[in-house]
């Protein structure tokens, strides 16, 4: 059962701002986590993607800030620029009109400009491990007054090769600082690593057995490797998603895939890992505004993104493991909304989806494209089956249709020709199912047509009837 934000002992200012944004009730993870974090306890927070974890830790963090103190008091560590920018947007919404100052310290941006802005003494910072450590080493950033430190998408932060950077950053905080680790997936290795920093933590997990949202539908389509691009094109043309994310595995192939998708007429842009901050921000802004239909991304680039209006997730490559699959599909079906995910796989890749089904406790159903619809291949909706159903609906039913076909096949060639409709004129196409005469009908009486007769017929083709009659051999 959901709680109101008033019941969670939050400042009325934040309650009013949430209400103005259409958020009036706390989600289960927010209702569980906010009171614990307000008490100052360390915590490990795990919940499905799209359940409101960002607000679950941001609201308590903002509540702890004393605006009269010109020191950094809250720190959020993130794995990617996009996630950092997204969290900054949430902070700016919540602190608009207040004296709380915030800043992003994300790699790829100008370090000199960030150092200049640090002179304004932000109260809350959102940053990537590498840039935070870089500024700490040159003594431009101090964490000695941080009251609460949060690591979002903690499993990815630890897995991206930045474990040493994260350790160095966390060591810059006081041991008395409150620590909060957050993610939709927290494997045992991450939990063990996080244990070095958490002091008697509260473990807050909502429906850990249910790994994906109930509003998500999981499907797959089978094709050959060389047909994947065209299959995606056909699916997009068929489904017509307003906004969708397409995932691939290899970053080296991303420019080539973009070129191929654009060549077949799809509206797509890519989130390149090596692109500059401004370019990536522009792409994300255009995607949020609906200026193109498909965002092509890797698992790292799209981790944690909350983009309103994403209705579909396509997997051009299957996810490398079940955890990545969870984060991919979590880009849609968020906060109780409907979502659909479609994997495009080869027959050899089917075993990967079977593993995901077992590990995640979900069902990924097969689909095929037929007559402008996504259908279940098990329904025997082949052309022959559909034709049989149409015939059964005609007067006389299927039995009459079978008799007609048997009668046509048993009739002599002459009868078949006389029953055939006249040849269409004016470029009209022949009616479907019209009976066509055999290419070389046998002569009357069953005698084979002589070579000389066939040669005369070829020469006389198109001659007037009276001339053909005159040249007929006498019996």
- C-alpha pair distances (Å), 274 with each of 84, 254, 295, 304: 16, 11, 16, 19
Structural domain includes residue 392: no
Of the two residues 327 and 77, the one the predictor is more confident about is: 77
Structural domain including 280 reads 216-375
- Distance between CA 229 and CA 256 in Å, rounded? 11
The verdict on 39 and 184 lying in the same domain is yes
At 231, give phi and psi (nearest 5°): -65, -40
Residue 409 lies in a domain: no
Tell me what pLDDT residue 432 has: 39
User: Domain tally for the chain?
Assistant: 2
**222 shares its domain with 201:** no
Within 271-311, strands assigned E span: 294-297
**179 occurs within a structural domain:** yes
222 and 97, same domain (yes or no):
no
Structure tokens at 367: 């689909």
Quick: pLDDT tens for 99-134. 999 999 998 788 999 999 999 999 999 999 999 999
Is the per-residue pLDDT at 259 higher than 60? Answer: yes
Q: Is residue 405 part of a domain?
A: no
Neighbour tally for 391: CB within 10 Å: 17
The answer to whether residues 198 and 312 belong to one domain is no
Mean pLDDT of the chain: 81
Interior CA angle at 167 toward 161 and 172, to 5°? Answer: 140
Of 345, 375, 405, which closes a domain? 375
> pLDDT tens digit string along 2-46?
578 888 889 999 999 999 888 888 988 999 999 999 999 999 998
pTM: 0.65
pLDDT value at position 426?
41
Q: Is residue 132 in a domain?
A: yes
Res 438 pLDDT > 50? no
Count the Cβ atoms, other than its own, within 10 Å of residue 473: 8
Picking from 23-37, 147-161, 376-390, which range would have the lowest pLDDT averaged per residue? 376-390
Task: Decide if pLDDT at 379 tops 70.
Answer: no
CA-CA distance, 445 to 322, in Å (whole number)?
73
Apex 194 CA angle, 193 and 196, nearest 5: 80
Dihedral Cα 414, 418, 419, 423, nearest 10 deg: 120
- % pLDDT > 70, the chain: 75
Q: Where are the alpha helices (DSSP H) in 240-349?
A: 254-263, 277-288, 322-329
Asked if 228 and 166 sit in the same domain, the reply is no
- Are residues 188 and 45 part of one domain? yes
* Same domain flag for 270 and 169: no
The reported pLDDT for the residue numbered 93 is 93
Scanning 225-349, the segments in alpha helix (DSSP H) are 228-239, 254-263, 277-288, 322-329
Residues 161 and 39 in one domain: yes
Q: Is residue 422 part of a domain?
A: no
**CA–CA separation, 109 and 217 (whole Å):** 38
- In this structure, the answer to whether residues 193 and 45 fall within a common structural domain is yes
Q: What is the rounded distance in angstroms from the CA atom of residue 154 to the CA atom of residue 129?
A: 11
pLDDT at 435: 38
Residue with more model confidence, 399 or 137: 137
Number of H helices, E strands in the chain: 19, 18
The CATH number of whichever domain residue 98 belongs to comes to 3.40.50.300
Question: Which DSSP string do the residues of 35-90 spell out, in sequence order?
Answer: HHHHTT--EEEE--TTS-HHHHHHHHHHHT--TTS-S--EEEE-SSHHHHHHHHHH
The answer on 339 and 250 residing in a single domain is yes
What pLDDT is attached to residue 389?
54
Cross-strand bridge partners of residue 125: 75, 103
Of the residues 348, 375, 402, which one is the last residue of a structural domain? 375
- Residue 55 forms part of a structural domain: yes
What integer pLDDT is reported at residue 414 of this predicted model? 42
Question: For 394-418, how does the pLDDT look when each residue is reduced to its tens digit (9 = 90+)?
Answer: 555 555 555 554 444 444 444 433 4
Beta-carbon count within 10 A of 319 CB = 20
For every residue of 154-173, DSSP letters joined together read: HHHHHHTT-HHHHHHHHHTS
Measured distance CA(258)–CA(36) in Å, rounded = 45
Answer with the one of 160, 178, 205 that is the final residue of a domain.
Answer: 205
Contact 179, 202 (CB under 8 A): no
- CA distances for 351 relative to 216, 343, 346, angstroms: 21, 13, 10
Do 122 and 228 have their domain in common? no
Domain identity same for 177 and 74: yes
Element (H, E) at 344: strand 339-345
Per-residue confidence at 188, pLDDT binned at 50, 70, 90?
A: confident
Task: Note whether residue 156 is domain-resident.
Answer: yes
The answer to whether residue 474 scores a pLDDT higher than 60 is no
pLDDT recorded at residue 124:
97
């Amino acid at each position: 059962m959901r709680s109101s934000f008033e019941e969670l002992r939050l400042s009325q200012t934040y309650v009013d701002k949430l209400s103005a944004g259409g958020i009036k009730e706390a989600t289960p993870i927010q209702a569980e986590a906010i009171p614990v974090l307000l008490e100052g306890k360390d915590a490990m927070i795990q919940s499905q993607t799209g359940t409101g974890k960002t607000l679950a830790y941001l609201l308590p963090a903002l509540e702890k800030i004393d605006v009269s103190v010109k020191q950094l008091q809250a720190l959020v560590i993130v794995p990617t620029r996009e996630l950092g920018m997204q969290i900054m947007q949430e902070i700016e919404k919540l602190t608009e009109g207040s004296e709380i100052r915030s800043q992003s310290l994300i790699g790829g941006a100008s370090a000199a400009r960030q150092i200049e802005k640090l002179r304004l003494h932000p109260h809350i910072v959102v940053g990537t491990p590498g840039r935070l450590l870089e500024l700490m080493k040159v003594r431009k950033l101090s964490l000695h007054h941080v009251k609460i430190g949060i690591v979002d998408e903690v499993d990815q932060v630890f897995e991206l090769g930045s474990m040493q950077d994260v350790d160095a950053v966390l060591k810059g905080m006081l041991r008395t600082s409150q620590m909060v680790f957050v993610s939709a997936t927290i494997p045992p290795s991450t939990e063990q690593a996080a244990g070095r920093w958490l002091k008697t933590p509260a473990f807050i997990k909502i429906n850990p057995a249910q790994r994906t949202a109930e509003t998500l539908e999981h499907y797959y389509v089978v094709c050959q490797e060389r047909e994947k691009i065209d299959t995606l094109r056909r699916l997009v043309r068929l489904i017509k998603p307003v906004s969708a994310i397409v995932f691939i595995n290899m970053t080296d192939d991303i420019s080539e895939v973009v070129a191929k998708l654009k060549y077949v007429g799809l509206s797509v842009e890519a989130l390149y890992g090596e692109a500059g901050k401004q370019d990536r921000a522009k792409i994300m802004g255009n995607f949020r505004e609906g200026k193109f239909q498909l965002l092509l991304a890797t698992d790292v680039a799209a981790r944690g993104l909350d983009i309103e209006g994403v209705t579909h997730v396509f997997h051009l490559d299957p996810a490398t493991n079940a955890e990545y699959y969870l984060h991919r599909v979590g880009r849609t079906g968020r906060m109780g909304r409907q979502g659909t995910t479609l994997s495009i796989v080869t027959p050899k890749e089917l075993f990967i989806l079977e593993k995901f089904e077992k590990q995640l406790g979900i069902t990924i159903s097969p689909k095929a494209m037929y007559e402008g619809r996504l259908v279940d291949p098990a329904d025997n909706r082949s052309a022959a089956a559909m034709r049989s159903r149409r015939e059964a609906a005609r007067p006389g039913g299927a039995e009459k249709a079978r008799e007609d076909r048997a009668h046509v096949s048993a009739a002599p060639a002459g009868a078949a020709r006389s029953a055939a409709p006249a040849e269409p004129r004016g470029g009209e196409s022949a009616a479907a199912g019209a009976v066509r005469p055999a290419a070389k009908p046998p002569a009357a009486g069953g005698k084979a047509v002589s070579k000389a007769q066939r040669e005369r017929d070829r020469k006389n083709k198109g001659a007037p009837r009276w001339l053909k009659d005159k040249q007929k051999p006498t019996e």
